Amino acid sequence: MKLFKSCIELLLIIGLLASVHAHAADAYAANTDAIARGKYLYEAADCYSCHGGPRESQNGKASAGSALKLPSGGLGLDTPFGTFRSPNITPDKQYGIGAWSEAEFKTALHDGIGREGEYLFPVFPYTSFSKLTDRDMADMYAYIMTLPAVPLPNKPHEAKPPFGWRSLLIFWRALFFDNEPIKIEEARGTDWNRGNYLVHAVAHCEECHTPRNVLGALITSRSFSGNIGGPDKQNAPNITPDDKTGIGSWSIADMEQLLKTGMTPDTDSIGSGMKAVVQGTSRLTDADRHAMAVYLKSIPAIHVDLPPPKLPGQSAAMQKEDSMLEKIAAKLRQLKFW
């Protein structure tokens, strides 16, 4: 009888251990999947392009000749309001976000509010990341927390007064910030809805390709119609389906090709900041690149007046002066001076 009882107890213990092991294996698999999804989103969002920095050695100094891509921050983004420095988002607990909880990370992306309750400057595109799903934000957090920590202090912003005063952002946010989720439009189909989400929330294409008003907010009535003198004073082209000033002549396959290889239909290679963007979109699945192309092909075509072509040997100052003179001449003609 005692032997039978001991056998029963042993079987119960074995069963309990097996159950614990199975739950642990499931949790590990779930976490591994989350990290893989987070890496995919991190690359698609091109986080490194803004948050990139030099590889750090253990003593905190940059290692010469190293090219390991870690988001240790420090890069400057030139804007009309001053230069804003990207922060360290490696898991370093002192200088990065290693001490942040998942909830605090989500609050930064969804609400544009930092760990100390401060308003974040909208050079960080939380205006787009706020559209990310809760799961996608959690997955990005899971992946970032697996990166090596870099003990690199953050550089201060060089904003012009009063644009460096965070308290004033309460008014900007009231006027321009909307963190409502993207609505699914069933009638549009799976590809269109997936593309809408990728373009607006993940790849945040609107942040560069849409003009901004005098307060730096997106002019949504002209979404994707291009931005002259955009981030870092680079010109972002019109990517609406306008035939003359946009990409209306491009096929969906042409758009997929650009997102994968950086090659335009004219066999030109893209330049400036778009090179970094393609480093992210090239890692997308074919299905996701197709979805982005389907969505972009569906948006309203917007015709924009292009700046006059620059003549050979003509400096930027001369071109600006000629443009101003032409405006004065047009005004004189309107007033019938000749």
pLDDT at 20: 46
Cα–Cα distance measured from residue 129 to residue 108, given in angstroms and rounded to the nearest whole number:
9
Sequential DSSP letters for 184-236: P-GGG-HHHHHHHHIIIIIS-THHHHS-B-TTS-B-GGGTTS-BTT-GGGPPB
CA dist 12 → 3, 19, 21, 22, 53 (Å): 14, 10, 14, 15, 54
Cα–Cα distance measured from residue 119 to residue 134, given in angstroms and rounded to the nearest whole number:
20
Cα–Cα distance measured from residue 42 to residue 45, given in angstroms and rounded to the nearest whole number:
5
* 271 within 8 A of 258, measured Cβ to Cβ: no
pLDDT at 272: 72
* 245 within 8 A of 251, measured Cβ to Cβ: no
pLDDT at 273: 77
Query: Rounded to the nearest 10 degrees, how much is the dihedral formed by the CA atoms of 208, 185, 260, 125?
Result: 30
pLDDT averaged per 10 residues in sequence order, the chain, 338 residues? 62 57 48 96 94 55 51 92 96 98 98 97 97 98 97 96 95 96 97 98 96 95 90 85 96 97 91 85 97 98 75 48 47 42
Tokens of 101: 């909880």
Predicted structure pTM score: 0.80
Cα–Cα distance measured from residue 235 to residue 225, given in angstroms and rounded to the nearest whole number:
11
* 113 within 8 A of 129, measured Cβ to Cβ: no
Q: Residue with structure tokens 């192309």? A: 293
pLDDT at 7: 61
Instruction: Give the dihedral sign, CA 281/287/291/293.
Output: positive
Per residue in 11-21, is it b (16+ CB within 10 Å) or e — as a string?
A: eeeeeeeeeee
Cα–Cα distance measured from residue 146 to residue 142, given in angstroms and rounded to the nearest whole number:
7
Beta-carbon contacts of 112 under 8 Å, excluding residues fewer than 6 positions away, are 119, 120, 122, 124, 126, 127, 130, 173, 177, 179
pLDDT at 13: 66
pLDDT at 328: 43
